[in-house]
């Protein structure tokens, strides 16, 4: 139980945060405007100020839900431009900077946050520490419904508003300051207290489980038509073609720019408030629509525009591509869910045999899959599977251990040896399981994500040629991504799969695999962690470092390892030993097949708008496009 205190009243709650909803694809937009006007009544030309900035979203604007505790459709590019972030980070360097937080300190097991007192809600009310407590309480009321666990609850015993603009977190361990800032404070404020007070009251007055569930249902069903947020952009209107936002004039851009500049060696203090008339998020359900709109000159910038790079611009010299590593990676997931948990959507029992996973890593051309997942030439293909990207491996894993890791080059000979050691055999060109059945794997992914479809084609072609039969299916993005992970119908699937973007090793070594959460902490909800094993605690049983063929086994508990890496009390020498051990264990265990480093690409239009110069750190704040608004680093010319 986590205790939250606002205005002198303590509330004890269970510990999970809300789900943000999922983007979806939908019917194609009908906008054919040329930037000077449209048929939907919204201005897209320039007027008295700095003009209108046209960007895009893959969610139908009229379907976007602003209530973050609803399971209805959300939209990350829109939301992250409108929320108030407490902290954020520069992905290219890992440097954490404050937006809603002016400063923070860690003293033993106490994290104290001083909020910037000049942030306001878009109704003119000041943002206070009590507002953050209010949102934490709502999140925890909903948590019993099985939402995702948030870092602030995992590491925190108590959160208290110790001043009008001060929050104090009582930690359950002495965390390293950079870890605390990135893990606990990397969040955003959105729950407007006057709007959500009636739902908060319904929770606090509930006398039993049924009334609590009624309150959850009521909150889930609430559709917020006119959102009041405290971030850089504010809502104006929406229709099936676009959502119109405008700059929040009371947002303290100059102070945020100063806070960012103080935390980095990148000075953006001369920008001030963006002189934009409005920002249009136009509906572009897939990359082809984005390219079409860009070629027509109908968009000025946006996110995720591959396969382009700095050297290979997408459209014309009017545009520029910002490309940088996010710290995350792309690859292929195994489904480890049991039939008891997932029914017909269960994974394969054979996936729980390490030699089978190792064999598949040798069968699949990981670099070819990586080129499909991350077509950008800026992307580094993953040579050694440690759970970290190449740049992180160089920084955190000793060269002695790196030299002993399996590079998992494509080798049918090694794959054959591994499958035969696991009791498989080959008959008539087809691999047969130890039970005498044909070895087959079902792939399924979202048809709206072209890179996922192409990556699946490469992997299934490799497997079929080797004699492992594959079944391939796709679903619309709305069907695939809105379904619970255990109901998406795959045994293997491509997607984000490893690494992390953080300022320290505990942030970069992100262990996320498909399995039921009930395997480690009770509850029926599903989450992404390690494959569910028969042990009381989930561990990786692997040979000793440097002895891949040994029958001896050591146990590596990644949860304990990551916790130790996060502590300020763990020495540098101890951290190095832990990092080497966990890199070795991940490489041998192969809980997923990593293929490429994730490169974020953003499109910007310097011919019409002013941005920081090429290579500026501020353009690599996560994620670039919403952050140009939050930092105020865009102006009309």
- Check whether residue 282 and residue 337 sit in a common domain: no
User: Could you tell me if residue 34 is inside a domain?
Assistant: no
User: Could you tell me if residue 243 is inside a domain?
Assistant: yes
Q: For residue range 149-176, what is the model confidence (pLDDT) as tens digits?
A: 455 677 888 999 999 999 999 999 898 8
C-alpha distances out from residue 354 to 181, 359, 401, 418, Å: 36, 9, 20, 9
Nearest in space to 462 (alpha carbons), one of 529, 401, 415: 415
CATH of the domain at 376: 3.10.105.10
pLDDT of res. 308? 54
Q: Is 153 exposed, middle or buried (0-12, 13-18, 19+ CB in 10 A)?
A: buried
> Distance (Å, rounded) from C-alpha 168 to C-alpha 160?
5
Assign 31 to helix, strand or coil: coil
CATH of the domain at 7: 3.40.190.10
pLDDT of res. 92? 73
- Check whether residue 11 and residue 142 sit in a common domain: yes
> Distance (Å, rounded) from C-alpha 389 to C-alpha 233?
34
Q: Is residue 520 scored above 70 in pLDDT?
A: no
pLDDT of res. 18? 30
Q: Is 593 exposed, middle or buried (0-12, 13-18, 19+ CB in 10 A)?
A: buried
Where on the phi/psi map is residue 211: left (φ > 0), alpha (ψ -120 to 50), or beta? Answer: alpha
Q: For residue range 293-302, what is the model confidence (pLDDT) as tens digits?
A: 777 878 888 8
The answer to whether residues 574 and 594 touch, using CB atoms and an 8 Å cutoff, is no
Q: What's the gap between Cα 340 and its chain centre?
A: 28
- Check whether residue 371 and residue 409 sit in a common domain: yes
- Check whether residue 247 and residue 346 sit in a common domain: no
The answer to whether residues 74 and 65 touch, using CB atoms and an 8 Å cutoff, is yes
Q: Is residue 551 scored above 80 in pLDDT?
A: yes
Split into its structural domains, the chain has a count of 2
Is the pTM higher than 0.95? The answer reads: no
Q: Is residue 519 scored above 80 in pLDDT?
A: no
Q: For residue range 58-106, what is the model confidence (pLDDT) as tens digits?
A: 888 888 889 988 877 677 788 889 999 999 988 777 789 999 999 999 9
> Distance (Å, rounded) from C-alpha 132 to C-alpha 135?
5
User: Could you tell me if residue 157 is inside a domain?
Assistant: yes
Q: Which of 256-260, 297-301, 518-522 has the lowest mean pLDDT?
A: 518-522
| Mean pLDDT calculated for residue range 320-333 | 82
| Mean pLDDT calculated for residue range 520-544 | 52
| Mean pLDDT calculated for residue range 329-340 | 82
- Check whether residue 374 and residue 235 sit in a common domain: no
Q: Is residue 566 scored above 90 in pLDDT?
A: no
- Check whether residue 111 and residue 65 sit in a common domain: yes
pLDDT band at 462, cuts 50/70/90? very high
Q: What's the gap between Cα 328 and its chain centre?
A: 9
Assign 341 to helix, strand or coil: helix
- Check whether residue 585 and residue 617 sit in a common domain: no
User: Could you tell me if residue 355 is inside a domain?
Assistant: yes
> Distance (Å, rounded) from C-alpha 527 to C-alpha 211?
26
Q: Is residue 605 scored above 50 in pLDDT?
A: yes
Write the DSSP string, 185-205. Answer: S--EE---HHHHHHHHHHHHH
pLDDT band at 581, cuts 50/70/90? very high
> Distance (Å, rounded) from C-alpha 54 to C-alpha 144?
40
pLDDT of res. 56? 86
User: Could you tell me if residue 252 is inside a domain?
Assistant: yes
The answer to whether residues 463 and 441 touch, using CB atoms and an 8 Å cutoff, is yes
| pLDDT over 90 percentage in the chain | 46
- Check whether residue 273 and residue 374 sit in a common domain: no
Q: Is residue 273 scored above 90 in pLDDT?
A: yes
Q: For residue range 180-235, what is the model confidence (pLDDT) as tens digits?
A: 888 889 889 999 999 999 999 999 999 988 999 999 999 999 999 899 999 999 99
Nearest in space to 134 (alpha carbons), one of 196, 213, 83: 196
User: Could you tell me if residue 31 is inside a domain?
Assistant: no
- Check whether residue 419 and residue 461 sit in a common domain: yes
Q: Which domain covers residue 422, as residue numbers? A: 327-598
Enumerate residues 6+ apart whose C-beta is below 8 A from 29: 240, 241, 242, 282, 283, 284, 285, 289
Tell me which of 50 and 274 has the higher pLDDT.
274
| Mean pLDDT calculated for residue range 377-382 | 67
């Amino acid at each position: 139980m986590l205790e939250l205190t606002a205005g002198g009243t303590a509330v004890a709650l269970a510990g999970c945060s809300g789900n943000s909803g999922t983007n979806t694809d939908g019917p194609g937009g009908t906008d054919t405007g040329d930037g000077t006007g449209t048929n939907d009544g919204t201005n897209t030309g320039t007027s008295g100020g700095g003009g209108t900035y046209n960007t895009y979203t893959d969610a139908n604007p009229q379907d976007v839900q602003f209530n973050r505790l609803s399971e209805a459709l959300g939209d990350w590019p829109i939301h992250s431009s409108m929320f108030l972030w407490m902290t954020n980070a520069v992905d290219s360097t890992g440097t954490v900077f404050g937006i809603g937080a002016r400063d923070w300190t860690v003293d033993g097991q106490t994290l104290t946050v001083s909020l910037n007192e000049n942030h306001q809600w878009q109704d003119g009310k000041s943002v206070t520490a009590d507002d953050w407590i209010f949102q934490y309480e709502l999140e925890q009321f909903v948590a019993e419904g099985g939402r995702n666990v948030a870092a602030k609850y995992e590491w925190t015993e108590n959160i208290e508003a110790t001043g009008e603009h001060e929050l104090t977190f009582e930690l359950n361990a002495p965390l390293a300051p950079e870890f605390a800032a990135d893990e606990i404070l990397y969040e955003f404020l959105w729950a407007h207290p006057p709007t959500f007070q009636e739902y908060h009251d319904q929770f606090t007055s509930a006398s039993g489980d049924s009334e609590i569930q009624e309150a959850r249902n009521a909150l889930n069903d609430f559709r917020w038509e006119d959102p009041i947020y405290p971030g850089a952009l504010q809502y104006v209107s929406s229709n099936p073609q676009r959502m119109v936002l405008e700059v929040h004039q009371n947002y303290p851009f100059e102070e945020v720019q100063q806070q960012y500049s103080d935390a980095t060696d990148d000075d953006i203090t001369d920008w001030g408030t963006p002189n934009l008339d409005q920002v249009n998020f136009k509906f572009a359900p897939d990359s082809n629509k984005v390219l079409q709109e860009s070629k027509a000159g109908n968009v000025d910038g946006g996110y995720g525009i591959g396969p382009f790079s700095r050297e290979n611009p997408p459209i014309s010299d009017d545009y520029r591509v910002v490309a940088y590593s996010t710290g995350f990676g792309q690859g292929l997931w195994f489904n480890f869910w049991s039939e008891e948990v997932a029914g017909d959507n269960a994974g394969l029992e054979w996936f729980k045999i390490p030699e089978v996973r190792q064999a598949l890593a040798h069968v699949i051309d990981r670099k070819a899959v990586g080129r499909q997942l991350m077509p950008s030439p800026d992307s580094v293909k993953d040579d050694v599977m440690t759970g970290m990207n190449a740049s992180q491996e160089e920084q955190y894993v000793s060269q002695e251990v790196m030299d002993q890791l399996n590079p998992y080059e494509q080798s049918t000979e090694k794959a054959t040896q591994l499958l035969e050691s696991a009791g498989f055999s080959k008959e008539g060109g087809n691999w047969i399981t130890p039970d005498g059945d044909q070895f087959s794997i079902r792939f399924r992914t979202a048809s709206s994500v072209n890179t996922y479809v192409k990556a699946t084609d490469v992997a299934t072609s490799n497997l079929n040629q080797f004699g492992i039969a594959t079944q391939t299916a796709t679903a619309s993005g709305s069907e695939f991504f809105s379904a619970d992970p255990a109901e998406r119908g795959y045994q293997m699937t491509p997607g984000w799969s490893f690494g992390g973007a953080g300022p320290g090793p505990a942030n970069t070594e992100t262990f996320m695999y498909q399995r039921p959460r009930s395997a480690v902490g009770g509850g029926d909800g599903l989450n992404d962690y390690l494959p569910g094993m028969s042990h009381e605690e989930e561990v990786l049983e692997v040979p000793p470092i440097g002895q891949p063929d040994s029958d001896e086994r050591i146990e590596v508990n990644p949860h304990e390892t990551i916790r130790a890496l996060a502590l300020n009390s763990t020495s540098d020498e101890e951290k190095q030993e832990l990092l080497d051990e966990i890199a070795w264990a991940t490489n041998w265990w192969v809980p997923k097949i990593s293929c490429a480093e994730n490169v974020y690409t953003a499109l910007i239009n310097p011919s019409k708008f002013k941005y920081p110069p090429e290579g500026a750190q501020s353009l690599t704040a996560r994620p670039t496009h919403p952050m140009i608004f939050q930092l105020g680093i865009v102006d009309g010319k």
